[in-house]
Amino acid sequence: MKRASPWRWAALSGLLYGLSFPSFTQLHLEPLAWFCWVPWLLALRGPVSWGQAAGSGWLALWIGTAIATRWLLVVQPGVGLFVFTVQSALMLPILLLFFAVRRLVGWRRALWVLPPLWTGWEWLLTRQPLHTPLAFFGYSQANWYGLIQYCDLVGVWGIACWLVLFNVLIARAWAQAAEGRTGMTRRLLPRLIAIALPMLALPAGYGWYRIGELEPRLAQAPRITIALVQPNVGYGGKEQESQRDYVKAMEQMVIRSTESIIAHHPDLVVWPEATLPFDVSTQAAVRDYLLLVVERWNVPLILGFQERLDERHLYNSALLVTPQLARYARDLPRDQPPRLKVYRKQELVPFAEQVPFADRVPALEALALPIDGATSLILKGDPVATRFAFRDHQGVKRWAGVRICYEVLYPAGTARLVADGAAMLTVISNDGPFGRSTATLQLAAYSRILAISTRRSLARCANTGLTLFADPLGRLYGSVPRWEEQVAVGSVALGNDLSLYVRYPDLFPAACLGAAVLGALLAWVRMGRAARAS
């Protein structure tokens, strides 16, 4: 590759990076991630200023983020442009730190710092409220479940580290092959083969081994039948319903669909996120009606609802209603409502669902971005692992973990649920605001990584789709078409083993961060010694 200004190569890297994410139903471009950063890395071999490195790096990240999450423009163009700009700026320190090390010890040595640095920095970003992990590198490989079975060891962080290492090895091979004046292709091809074979064979071999080992266990694992109700109600439709007539609307939308499958005797019914746009615990008419139908069905129900505190603030919550609770509530005095088991969403979309640091500086709430004309702010739930316990048709007690929409991008919280005893996972989502964009394809694909890393079956219920199931190997099944009123019924395997990732969800990324810091310190010490020697 001819050395030149890094801008054109940054644009190419950003294009390849963005296209590698799962956005298409038939076209799989995930292999682009294996070498997407090679053009930009090679452009930094020659004399490049700090300004060129920072500007070109930010350009690559902005283009990549914009392409990977282009569906944000469907939600609202201003929101999308804001997210692209902020998130690429938050990722830029990875490339700047690499460039700093490159100036200390040279391009070839600095490349080895990049894989742990990238992995550790992404992990750090999940621990602060400004960043959204929608375009984290590891998620680009979500649909290639055969290659990413090692998520049960290191989570999505292991995929990111593997991808960056792949890029580093190819960049080094390209640079070595380009040193001669002629015959570059002849020198490059054997090097690329020597890199690709072990880099693909190792994860593929582990995947083959784990799939072969776990399939017999899944065949013998205890199972329950779950019904996922997809009412096909868009975002605005629910907002427009008044509280007074919502019981009737709810019956038309989800009660009808649920009653159509009760004869099949599911062990659990799941409704999507924000099925009820108001607080069940305070709206007695809706709560009583809900308890009545659950008692009649004799099937536990998980559903999403909103706990509104005032005109601007609310909790995005999930609720479990069991037949046992319904029968118990029937005998209570009217002025003593039953205590409901509630989970409140903990991971919130910055500037859309919550404004970072607004709890300390309330004036910051003015920065909230409107979504579909609404600017309600969601409060963060308590950081506790909330499991839902229910009994199946045989009377056996089962435990389910619940995640709400965007929380699939925060696997550590799910790992805590599984470590606390969740035998399967449910994800409820409101995908109506995304329209017919690729957003729901991405979020559904990301659920694969959650299932693999925790080795738990997953049931995803979305109001407009995609509604589907994933087994502990990340294989999807039982999906129903988007934008149709449908019910997906599936048999779900229950698990009790804890993967290495579930036991130690932060071990690998923290170790990567430590390795990157150590590498940078060694580079600084080496530079100091060289300066003193001269």
CATH architecture of 222-349+383-494: 4-Layer Sandwich (3.60)
pLDDT surpassing 60 at residue 241: no
Q: Name which residue leads in pLDDT, 339 or 15.
A: 15
Q: How many CB atoms lie within 10 A of CB 485?
A: 16
Q: What number is the average pLDDT over the span 359-381?
A: 67
Q: Name which residue leads in pLDDT, 151 or 362.
A: 151
Residue 34 DSSP symbol: G
pLDDT band at residue 239 under the 50/70/90 scheme: very low
Over residues 252-290, the pLDDT tens digits come to 667 777 878 888 889 999 999 988 777 777 777 788 888
Range from 115-124, 273-282, 313-322, 521-530 that averages highest in pLDDT:
115-124
Contacts 24+ apart (CB under 8 A), 3-9: 3/42, 3/43, 3/45, 3/46, 4/43, 5/43, 5/52, 5/56, 6/40, 6/43, 6/44, 6/48, 6/52, 6/53, 6/56, 7/52, 7/55, 7/56, 7/59, 9/39, 9/40, 9/42, 9/43, 9/56
Q: Name which residue leads in pLDDT, 526 or 514.
A: 514
Over residues 155-209, the pLDDT tens digits come to 999 999 999 999 999 999 999 888 766 667 788 888 999 999 999 999 999 999 9
Over residues 307-316, the pLDDT tens digits come to 877 777 788 8
Over residues 89-120, the pLDDT tens digits come to 999 999 999 999 998 888 999 999 999 999 99
Cα 58 from chain centre: 23
Q: What pLDDT score does 132 carry?
A: 84
Which residues 6+ apart lie within 8 Å of 525 measured at CB?
Answer: none
Euclidean distance between CA atoms 273 and 318, whole angstroms: 7
Q: 387 — phi, psi (to 5°)?
A: -95, 150
Q: Name which residue leads in pLDDT, 349 or 174.
A: 174
Q: 150 — phi, psi (to 5°)?
A: -70, 0
Euclidean distance between CA atoms 453 and 450, whole angstroms: 5
pLDDT surpassing 80 at residue 431: yes
Q: What number is the average pLDDT over the span 481-506?
A: 94
Least confident of 285-299, 392-406, 448-462: 285-299
Residue 451 DSSP symbol: H
pLDDT band at residue 330 under the 50/70/90 scheme: confident
Q: What pLDDT score does 421 carry?
A: 93
Q: What pLDDT score does 182 carry?
A: 67
pLDDT surpassing 80 at residue 30: yes
Write down the mean pLDDT value for the chain: 87
Domain ranges of the chain: 6-218+506-533, 222-349+383-494
Evaluate if pTM is beyond 0.85: yes
pLDDT band at residue 72 under the 50/70/90 scheme: confident
Q: Judge contact between 69 and 22, C-beta under 8 A.
A: no
Over residues 50-60, the pLDDT tens digits come to 999 999 999 99
Q: What pLDDT score does 286 carry?
A: 80
pLDDT surpassing 60 at residue 298: yes
pLDDT band at residue 237 under the 50/70/90 scheme: very low
Q: What number is the average pLDDT over the span 327-349?
A: 80
pLDDT surpassing 70 at residue 374: no
Euclidean distance between CA atoms 511 and 341, whole angstroms: 37
Q: Judge contact between 344 and 384, C-beta under 8 A.
A: no
Q: What pLDDT score does 333 carry?
A: 73
Q: 403 — phi, psi (to 5°)?
A: -125, 145
Q: What number is the average pLDDT over the span 476-480?
A: 94
pLDDT surpassing 60 at residue 240: no
Q: What pLDDT score does 229 carry?
A: 93
Q: What pLDDT score does 236 carry?
A: 47
- Calculate Rg over the CA atoms of the chain: 25
Range from 332-346, 353-367, 434-448, 488-502 that averages highest in pLDDT:
488-502
Q: Name which residue leads in pLDDT, 210 or 249.
A: 210
Q: Structure tokens of 184? A: 């570059």
Q: What pLDDT score does 180 carry?
A: 67
Residue whose C-alpha is closest to residue 492's, from 208, 228, 151, 142:
228
Range from 324-328, 465-469, 474-478 that averages highest in pLDDT:
474-478
pLDDT surpassing 90 at residue 73: no
